[in-house]
Amino acid sequence: MIYVGQSIAKSPAVCLARVKTNAGTYITQSAIATIVVKVFDTTTATLTTTTNPTVADVVYNTLQTDDRWQVDGDTTGYNVAIPIGGASMPLNRTYQIEATFTPTTGDAFIVLWQLEAEKVYS
């Protein structure tokens, strides 16, 4: 699944997702060893940023249903919230965010978001 959304160029965003293990259970902080997040400009396939967020800062042990979760008809919520700095998306383009999750056991997996950064004139 690719999560698709909109953002504003030069502004921070938060990428939300509901992520499960290969066994079908929701991931938790203790199940993930590391996360590497890369942001690419899809027009040029250029890497704009790489970060290594702390697992405890971006993975929740329970599903969250706060106001950030704006998926129509979905009241289940999310368990991953990855912040993306505004400098990662400086232009009016589409950016692909690739988060590679390395679990404490098993194979690494990738969660994808595509954000269309809307133009700003200032």
Given pLDDT bands bounded at 50, 70 and 90, which one contains residue 22? confident
E-strand stretches of 42-77: 46-51, 59-64
10 Å CB burial of residue 32 (0-12, 13-18, 19+) is: buried
- Amino acid present at 106: G
* Tokens 């697992």 -> residue: 55
CA torsion sign for 78, 82, 84, 89 is: negative
d(CA 2, CA 114): 7
- Residues β-bridged to residue 16: 81
Tell whether pTM > 0.75: yes
d(CA 96, CA 80): 17
Given pLDDT bands bounded at 50, 70 and 90, which one contains residue 38? very high
- Amino acid present at 17: A
- Give the pLDDT score at 72: 87
Average pLDDT rounded to a whole number, residues 39-58:
98
State which residues form the domain around 80: 2-118
77 phi-psi bin (left φ>0, alpha ψ -120 to 50, beta other): left
Residue 87 has pLDDT above 90, yes or no: yes
